[in-house]
Homo-oligomer: A and B are copies of this chain.
Amino acid sequence: MKKVSLLAPGPTPVPPRTLLAMAQPLIHHRSSDFLDIFGQVREGLKKLFKTENDVLVFCSSGTGAMESAVANLLSPGDKAIAIRGGKFGERWTELLEAYGCQAVNLDVEWGYAVKPADVAALLKQDPSIKAVYVQALETSTGVSHPIKELAQVTKDTGAVLVVDAVSALGAYDIPTDEWGLDVVLSGSQKALMLPPGLAFASIGPKALEMMKTSKCPKYYFSWAKELKNQGINKGTFTSPVTLFMGLLDIFELIEEMGLDNIYRETEIKSKAFKAAMAALGLSLYSKENASVGLTAVEAPEGIDGQDVVGWLKNKYAIFIAGGQAQAKGKIFRVAHMGYISEFDTLQGISAIEMALAGLGYKFDMGAGVAAAQKIFGEA
């Protein structure tokens, strides 16, 4: 019996009630019922982002929202800082170059977090820099960059701060307005427990001002057009109706649970999983700011991280993720965000133990599970 379990950092499992909410007969995207759903989704997003800003919805993967934050803010030739401490950070450079902008690359060793002082120095050195692009949670390394502090160093400059929170939003608290985040991006398939297909962008006053002078081409991802139309609860183009119905259901779930409880549970799962890995004698790949959304673990000496991933997938139908690019083979990554319970987490730990044993690693079988159980029991 192959019972699939998703423990990779996205797509995460979708609650069965939400799958059924999306299996309802379609409604028309220009009907008053759908306008009503659109309005409720907009309100739900504002609560989740903790903002009074407009939060736009796009039908795309998270990368579409990232692209929109280049195309709608900058003009060809503009300079912007790309904080690169992992694979997703590198995407900023690719995006900036695709639009003829100048990427000021701030390279951070994989597994470490950016130092806000380094960003401040770059901004001071070159006041023509128009934007700072960063991941809240760099999914490839499991590191959370210090977003609150980055907002402090960008606040009094001419640059806007753009935060990719695709993996972070809903996993831990990122209060847009309290921290003064100019642009926050997210997606449907991680902590929001939905299938992939929706991307979000909250746009603050400083970003709105910069948008007015942007000369990069944009159409499908045009903020100006969507601000106008979504402001009256209409997508400019055909909205993915079923995903909106799913998102409405997810917002009901979040309302029932309470955002703070969700954050607390995510943190406990993360703490239990990290304790389990320590009990097995394994080190985290994230040397600082290890995120609660997911954990990146170094494979033991002599064992290929991809073999751990492959063992879980092929023998148990459990999906975790391997390393990407320079981390390939060195690590494996396990998610704690979204619709993943403490017992899913224990199952993952148990499967990792069985895989490691099968691959010849020596340790006390069950030690990881016991360490995690202890933390879950205390919580």
A84 to chain B, nearest CB (A): 16
Count chain A residues whose beta carbon lies closer than 8 angstroms to a beta carbon of B.
56
Q: Is the CB of A23 within 8 A of B29?
A: no
**Which of B31, B219, B321 sits near A313, CB closer than 8 Å?**
B31
**Chain A interface, DSSP helix/strand/loop, else mixed:** loop
A375 to chain B, nearest CB (A): 27
Q: Indicate with 1 or 0, residue by residue over A269-310, a CB within 8 angstroms of chain B CB atoms.
A: 000000000000000000000000000000000000000000
- Is A373 located at the chain interface by the 8 A CB criterion? no
Q: Is the CB of B220 within 8 A of A67?
A: yes
Q: Is the CB of A219 within 8 A of B67?
A: yes
**Which of B12, B217, B221 sits near A99, CB closer than 8 Å?**
B217
Roughly how many angstroms separate A44 CA and B108 CA in the complex, as a whole number? 44
- Is A94 located at the chain interface by the 8 A CB criterion? yes
Give chain B residues whose Cβ lies under 8 Å from the Cβ of A240.
61, 195-197
- Is A95 located at the chain interface by the 8 A CB criterion? yes
Q: Is the CB of A196 within 8 A of B60?
A: no
Give chain B residues whose Cβ lies under 8 Å from the Cβ of A86.
none
Q: Is the CB of A195 within 8 A of B26?
A: yes
Contacts A59-B196, A196-B238 given; does A23 touch B25 at CB 8 Å? no
- Is A105 located at the chain interface by the 8 A CB criterion? no
Give chain B residues whose Cβ lies under 8 Å from the Cβ of A6.
26-28
Binds B, one of A14-22, A120-128, A206-214: A14-22
Interface residues of A in 66-112 (CB under 8 A from B): 67, 71, 94-95, 98-100
- Is A319 located at the chain interface by the 8 A CB criterion? yes
Contacts A62-B238, A220-B60 given; does A23 touch B28 at CB 8 Å? no
- Is A8 located at the chain interface by the 8 A CB criterion? yes
Give chain B residues whose Cβ lies under 8 Å from the Cβ of A222.
98
A139 to chain B, nearest CB (A): 11
Give chain B residues whose Cβ lies under 8 Å from the Cβ of A239.
61, 196
Q: 8 smallest A-B Cβ distances: which pairs?
A: A197-B240, A23-B23, A61-B237, A195-B242, A19-B23, A28-B319, A196-B238, A98-B219
Residues on A close to B: CB < 8 A?
4, 6, 8, 10-14, 16, 19-20, 22-31, 59-64, 67, 71, 94-95, 98-100, 187, 189, 195-197, 216-222, 237-243, 313, 319, 321
